[in-house]
Structure 1
């Protein structure tokens, strides 16, 4: 008969997770420390402006970036976001129009049912879904290609990738989602968009549960 502490050890519930962001990306925590993170990213971005950038325009650029980051933060919080990940270094002179959000722990979509059943339902309802594994836990990956929606302020199409994973041994069942989105602007070719999606998939392979 096994000792109780060994049994408890085998069913311990994660207290969080770790991810390794891509090089040139930064994180904004959405529970606390948000303002400080925005200020840090704005300072870094301003320091990377081209040498010939007019000094008189720097305050305007700083205000514009701060406004955009605050808007992105609001959208992430409205989606139950826990942490926002976004590029802060320019690639070929441009900031990549992409980001991803890790959610707060969410309740099971349909009550306390088996995680496998929820994953099957999610995959069944999606056009492009595939089974994945995150640190030994079954997950589902869904890809959506969304059209522009000017009525909602979305002027260009976008691609969205979402990973959904149950929190191991949580009672009642809880879930995490990781949602990546990138705009498909007219000057971006499809190969570049696919590369960004592959980059996010690579990030998700670094997912690890963390324990107290």
Structure 2
């Protein structure tokens, strides 16, 4: 699936106005600025259609309600973070009818500038700050380029926080990419997976490698 989405609502850059990301057809894009409800309803209807036709109505009804509650809750949480897009695996992969526990959340960050400031901090200096500040302990940090733009890759294990509704630890990988034409504007693609129940297991490793391959398809949408 090809997903094209404007990089920010109401804000445009002379060099980059959005992005393109290639994902398998099993993944769905949920736009979070507009068209959200339509996308959510489409995903839910596709999920309902895969339920057994002979299943008892008294079982199907509560299952649908719980599925919708959880899915809408995930989308609402992403919108609270003022994100741009949420990508989720919504259709089975392979013959085993397996849907991985994973997600990709796309956001945009504007770094603060001093009032009246005439010069901007170079992107390479900002990258150093991103690599050394606000990183979880034992995070795996590296820098490079994504479609010609400076990027920071950060990977770590996030512990479960039951008091916040997060009942399992997860493996997280973030790509923080400088938007061409605006060094104070950064694109963030954050991948999260619980693997097969252990964020350090073989499935988690495979999914992280898969996400790195997805980010290799990333391209800017330019004016």
Q: Tell me, in whole angstroms, the C-alpha distance in 1 between the residues paired with 2:113 and 2:100.
A: 36
CA 1:182–1:75: 2 relative to 1, 3 Å: same
Paired residues of 1:156 and 1:185 also in contact (CA < 8 A): no
C-alpha root-mean-square deviation of aligned residues, in Å? 2.3
Q: Tell me, in whole angstroms, the C-alpha distance in 2 between the residues paired with 1:163 and 1:30.
A: 19
Paired residues of 1:123 and 1:130 also in contact (CA < 8 A): yes
1:59 equivalent in structure 2: 61
Equivalent in 100, 105, 113 of residue 121 of structure 2: 113
2:103 equivalent in structure 1: 99
**Which stretch of the first structure deviates more once superposed, 110-119 or 151-160?**
110-119
List aligned pairs for 1:19-34, cutoff 5 A.
19-34=21-36
2:80 equivalent in structure 1: 78
Q: Tell me, in whole angstroms, the C-alpha distance in 2 between the residues paired with 1:204 and 1:34.
A: 23
Unmatched 5+ residue regions in structure 1? Answer: 1-10
CA 1:162–1:109: 2 relative to 1, 3 Å: farther
- Higher-helix-fraction structure: 1
Q: C-alpha offsets along residues 34-60 of structure 1, whole Å, 9 cap, x if unaligned?
A: 111011001111112246543443332
Unmatched 5+ residue regions in structure 2? Answer: 1-12, 115-119
What TM-score do the two structures reach when normalised by structure 2?
A: 0.81
CA 1:159–1:188: 2 relative to 1, 3 Å: closer
CA 1:142–1:35: 2 relative to 1, 3 Å: same
Query: What is the deviation of 1:77?
Result: 1.6
Q: C-alpha offsets along residues 115-173 of structure 1, whole Å, 9 cap, x if unaligned?
A: 11111111224421112321111101100101222222221111111110111012x72
User: SS in structure 1 opposite 2:97?
Assistant: coil
1:129 equivalent in structure 2: 141
Paired residues of 2:195 and 2:203 also in contact (CA < 8 A): no
User: SS in structure 1 opposite 2:160?
Assistant: coil
Paired residues of 2:140 and 2:154 also in contact (CA < 8 A): yes
Paired residues of 2:100 and 2:195 also in contact (CA < 8 A): no
What TM-score do the two structures reach when normalised by structure 1?
A: 0.85
Equivalent in 48, 51, 54 of residue 50 of structure 2: 48
Count of matched residue pairs: 200
List aligned pairs for 1:159-170, cutoff 5 A.
159-170=171-182
Paired residues of 1:109 and 1:118 also in contact (CA < 8 A): no
1:203 equivalent in structure 2: 214
Q: C-alpha offsets along residues 59-115 of structure 1, whole Å, 9 cap, x if unaligned?
A: 322222221121111221222210000000124334321101111x32125664111
